[in-house]
A and B are shown apart, each in its own frame.
Chain A
Amino acid sequence: MPIHRPQYLGAFLGKITRRAACSRLTASRAEKRGGGELPLVLDELTECLPCSPSAAQAVEDAELAQMVNRFLHTLPAQACNIFLRRYWYAEPTADIARRYRMTPGAVKTSLHRSREKLRRYLEKEGIL
């Protein structure tokens, strides 16, 4: 356990797990293995690419993380929840719909709108 006790232990441990999973995904993609939700999630996130890919590359990873975090705080609570379940937890949309007692269509619509908002947000933040 870290010296500073995390306020949300579940999320803290989840981050460690997620980083490990990302590393394994990078390795497995290098071996041309695939499957599961992560490839779908990454495919969906392509829509959030700002108009200038080269400018996007110029943004440091830490700066990008801060931008995304600020963006998440602009979303309504439910839209943010759905967005994180999909793109942080890589949860299937059907499971998200069941979790929040929504229709899958409403979940997909919410995700689509949030991705669009993220793209516009990143453009507005200077990734032109």
Chain B
Amino acid sequence: MTWEERLFLALGEADESLLHRSQHPARRRLWLPLAAAAACLVLVAAGLLYLRQDVRPPAPVTPGTAETPVQTLYLSGGNVGSFTLHQLRWDTDTSADFILYVDETHYRQTVKDGVYTIEPLADMSGLPLCSLEISHQVGITVEDAAALAAETLRASYATVSEPANASIIEGLLVTGSNGTAWDDTQAEVYLVGDRQGGVFILVSRYFLEAAEGHGSRFADMISTFQPVTAEDVGPAWLTELRSLGDQLIPAIFSNDLASVADALAENALIDLPPEAGLSVSAIDYTTDSDQIPTSAAISVRFRQLEDSYDYLTIELSYTEGRWLVTAILLEK
């Protein structure tokens, strides 16, 4: 018998309590802790990095556009450009909110008639519409919203798919296509439950030739979409973990670890990603315990232009009341 077979059999005698624990996911998504006045909803990042700073007075609403008030928080992230945090309240009674990461170097955001819209900064005149729109409906199930979305798409698109589970986000997806010519319009409609009996509707529109450009970047942004509610409040260690993540991610992607030197453990293993032109499509936080964590990992999925995804994993340990980085690992 080979060594690995012996090891495999030895593993078979693992404590049943450990096996039982592995059956039930111990991890839950770690929501950004919400203070009473700062229900962070939309996180906009140039270069897809973000850093929280103090809040300035609300930005004026663009005339003739949104009725919904937008509070803009101006942030900075070292050498990687400026960041904007938008706070949007869709419904003051239900306070259904969301978090989204947006590349502000390539896209602008507006709110028109209650619809949050992301559009390319580049001049798109003469080309079909490319946009990502997010709206919200109360009192409807995800399944019913998907059926309505399919029915709505059939009025404008030659081919419409049946609702199916989305692969990039928890929810349903309905797609529409007007053909295979370079300028034929395409649509992807994602329906995501707001955790309060309503649905967020994310609509990505682009023309076929833009599928690997704007289409894939919209998909990356959609992958970072997270509904949050005002009841999601985290303990101090969670606030500290997310706060540290806010500092670490921009510092790592801009190769400026000096600014976070205090957070690095002695002998921490460090790989650094390439700079510039990155598109982040997911940032996951995991800990070994929801109650008293001793370790955590921040996993950042990113890619350069339309390349395949790479992963950056930041491993941390929680000792003496603070998080320390023990490793920063790149995986292709």
- Quick one: which of A11, A61, A103 contacts B299, CB cutoff 8 A? A103
Residues of B within 8 A of A81 (CB): 21-22, 26
Residue of A nearest to B269 (CB): A113
User: Which residues on the A side are within 8 Å of B37 (C-beta)?
Assistant: none
A34 interfacial contact with B, CB 8 Å? no
Chain B residues, Cβ within 8 Å of A42: 2, 4-5, 8
Q: List A54-71 residues whose CB lies under 8 Å from chain B.
A: 56-57, 61, 64-65, 67-69
CA A48 to CA B186, docked complex, whole Å: 49
Binds A, one of B38-46, B137-145, B289-297: B289-297
C-beta contact mask, B1-45 vs A, less than 8 Å → 1, else 0? Answer: 111111111111111111111110111110000000000000000
B87 within 8 A of A: no
- A15-B16, A19-B12, A84-B18 known; A78+B288 contact, CB < 8 A: yes
CB pair B16–A12 under 8 Å, yes or no, is: yes
Could you say which of A7, A26, A103 contacts B17, with CB atoms under 8 Å apart?
Answer: A7
Nearest CB of A to B98, in Å:
17
CB distance from A49 to the nearest CB of B (A): 5
A128 within 8 A of B: no
Among residues of A, the one whose C-beta sits closest to the C-beta of B27 is A100
Scoring B19, B22, B297, B309 by chain A CB atoms within 10 A of each residue's CB, the highest score goes to B22
A28 at the interface (CB under 8 A from B): no
Q: With an 8 A cutoff between CB atoms, is A117 at the interface?
A: no
For this complex, 11 residue pairs linking A to B, each with C-beta atoms less than 8 Å apart, are A7-B17, A8-B20, A11-B23, A65-B9, A76-B295, A77-B288, A78-B288, A103-B311, A104-B311, A106-B299, A106-B311
Set of chain A residues within 8 Å of B299, measured between Cβ atoms: 102-103, 105-106, 109
**Shortest Cβ distance from A70 into chain B, in angstroms?**
10
Residues of B within 8 A of A7 (CB): 16-17
Asked whether, in the complex, the Cβ of A109 is within 8 Å of the Cβ of B288, the reply is no
Complex contact A22–B12 (CB within 8 A): yes
CB-CB nearest 4 A-B residue pairs: A105-B311, A76-B288, A11-B16, A106-B299
- A88 in contact with B11 given A80-B22, A106-B286 (CB within 8 Å): yes
Q: How far is the CA of A111 from the CA of B242 in the complex (A)?
A: 24
Task: Give A19 to B13 CA distance when docked, in angstroms.
Answer: 10
Interface SS of chain B: mixed
B22 touches A64 (CB 8 A): no
Q: Is B88 an interface residue (CB 8 A)?
A: no
- Contact check, B19 vs A14: say whether CB atoms are below 8 A apart: yes
How many Å from the CB of B76 to the closest CB on chain A? 28
Chain B residues, CB < 8 A from A22 = 5, 8-9, 12
Query: Closest residue to B287 on the A side, CB-wise?
Result: A78
**How many whole Å from A127's CB to the nearest CB in chain B?**
10
- The one of B4, B8, B11, B22 in contact with A49, judged by C-beta atoms closer than 8 angstroms, is B4
Determine the chain A residues whose CB is within 8 A of the CB of B100 once the complex forms.
none
In addition to A41-B8, A77-B289, A84-B14, 6 A-B residue pairs with Cβ atoms within 8 Å of each other are A7-B16, A15-B13, A89-B22, A100-B27, A102-B284, A109-B311
**Given A8-B17, A45-B4 in contact, is the A103-B25 Cβ separation under 8 Å?**
no
Residue B307 at the chain A interface, CB threshold 8 Å: no
> Which A residues touch B310, using CB under 8 A?
105
**What distance in Å separates the Cβ of B180 from its nearest Cβ neighbour in chain A?**
30
| B95 in contact (CB, < 8 A) | no
Q: Please name all residues of chain A whose beta carbon is closer than 8 Å to the beta carbon of B11 when the two chains form the complex.
A: 68, 84, 87-88
Chain B proximity mask over A13-51: 1 for CB below 8 Å, otherwise 0: 011001100100010000000000000011101101100
Complex contacts, A48 vs chain B, CB 8 Å: 4, 7
Decide if A4 is an interface residue (CB 8 Å cutoff): no
| Cβ of A120 under 8 Å from chain B | no
Asked whether, in the complex, the Cβ of B286 is within 8 Å of the Cβ of A72, the reply is no
Contact A10–B331 (Cβ < 8 Å) = no
The listed residue (B8, B25, B288, B301) touching A79 by CB distance below 8 A is B288
Contact A103–B288 (Cβ < 8 Å): no
The residue of chain A having its C-beta at the shortest distance from the C-beta of B312 within the complex is A105
